[in-house]
Amino acid sequence: MITHAILQDLGHFSGRDLQLFDQITVQRKVNKNEYLLEAGAVCQSVFYILSGAFFQYQTRETEDTVVDLHLEHEWMFNNSSLTTQQPSATAIKAFIKSEVIELRLEGLHALIAASNAFLQMGRLFNQGHNRTHLFDHHLDPAQKYAYLQDAKPGISKVFPVKMIASYLKIAPETLSRVRAMRRIS
C-alpha cells in the first residue's frame, strides 16, 4: 500500500508495476546527520522520504548555504548530478532521524525496460518548479516565505529560522520579522 501512495502522484501504475517497484527499491533508515549524498560524489539514486527531513547544502568559503529543504512524502535527489552523472556540488544530509525509499538509477532503468508505465517517473525530474518560482519572480521576503509555506506546509515546524532564511536567501533577522508580521495579521 505504501508503494501505491508513493507512485500515485506520478501517474497510473498496474498491480504488476507496483510489485516491480517494491522489488527494485530499498527501504532505508537514516540517522540524524547521515549523508545520502556527499559533495563531490555522483548522485546515483532518487529518494522518497517516508518520514523525517533532509536538507541539501553547498559549502562556500566560510559557511554552508542551504539550497533545498525536504520534508516527508516528497522525492529528493540532486538533479544536475543525477542527470549529467557529474560530481555533485551539494550534499544531502538528514536533519532528523528519517526513513526513505531508495531507487537507484540502474533500478529506474530496469523498471522502464520492464514497463513503459515507469516512463511517467520522468515527472520527478521537473521538480525544480518551487525553487525556480522563488528566485525567478523577484519576490520580496514576505512573498518568498508565504510561497514556501504554501509549497511546503509545516516547514517552519521542522527547520530552524537560520536554515529557512539561508534557503530563501534572506537574513535570519528579516525572516524573523516576516514571521512576526504574519502572526500579527
Question: What does the pLDDT read at residue 185?
Answer: 65
Query: What would the pLDDT profile of 155-179 be if each residue is shown by its tens digit?
Result: 999 999 999 999 999 999 999 999 9
**Which CATH number describes the domain made up of 1-126?**
2.60.120.10
Mean pLDDT of 135-140: 74
| Look-up of cell digits 541539501 | 56
Specify the length of the chain in residues.
185
**Mean pLDDT value across the chain:** 90
| All structural domains of the chain with their residue ranges | 1-126, 128-185
pLDDT above 90 (res 181):
no
Per-residue exposure over 39-68, b if at least 16 CB sit within 10 Å of its own CB, e if not: beeebebbbbbbebbbbbbeeeeeeeebbb
> Angle at which helices 172-184 and 141-151 pack, to 10 degrees?
70
pLDDT above 60 (res 133):
no
Question: What does the pLDDT read at residue 167?
Answer: 93
